[in-house]
Amino acid sequence: MTQSHSQQGSALMLSLFIIIVLLLLGSALVKVLSTSSETIAQEVIGTRALMAANSGMQAHLQLTFPLNGANACPADDTYDLSGVDGLDHCRAMVNCNLYNTHEMVNYYRLTSTGECGSSAIADQSIGVVRSSRTIQVEARSL
């Protein structure tokens, strides 16, 4: 039982083809998993930025409407939220604008921008994943 010359090496070529196909499928799967984990990290940092914006807004609203009843638009402020659990490497920049007064009622527009990073945020940070979210609230005095 001898094989003909035309069939010699065909098993080697078939196994080489299968190995190449499996290698391509494996590398595609690794790429999909890598992209998926980056997307999840970006979503988490974005959610943290939204919570930072909410925290800054709450702090500024408390200054705008204190319990003693004296309403006033406080100066623009930046809140460093690094000491708050879950908001490491986050900050919130908040500004207030008294945009209308009608019949002794003041109308305020507050804007809060939360910014978070995957590590400490510096002015020229390179390689840090950053996310920013902005919220706006309009409020009036009583």
Cα separation, 75 vs 39, in Å, equals 36
Residue 2 lies in a domain: no
Residue 79 lies in a domain: yes
Residue 1 lies in a domain: no
- Residue with token string 């305020």: 108
Q: Which of 45, 100, 96, 106 is nearest to 73 (CA)?
A: 96
Residue 3 lies in a domain: no
Cβ atoms of 113 and 53 within 8 Å: the answer is yes
Residue 39 lies in a domain: yes
Full residue range of the structural domain in which residue 78 is found: 8-140
Residue 40 lies in a domain: yes
Domain count, the chain: 1
Q: What is the pTM of this model?
A: 0.71
Cα separation, 83 vs 13, in Å, equals 62
Cα separation, 45 vs 109, in Å, equals 26
Residue 31 lies in a domain: yes
Reported as a single tens digit per residue, the pLDDT across 53-98 is 999 999 999 988 888 877 888 888 899 988 888 888 899 999 999 9
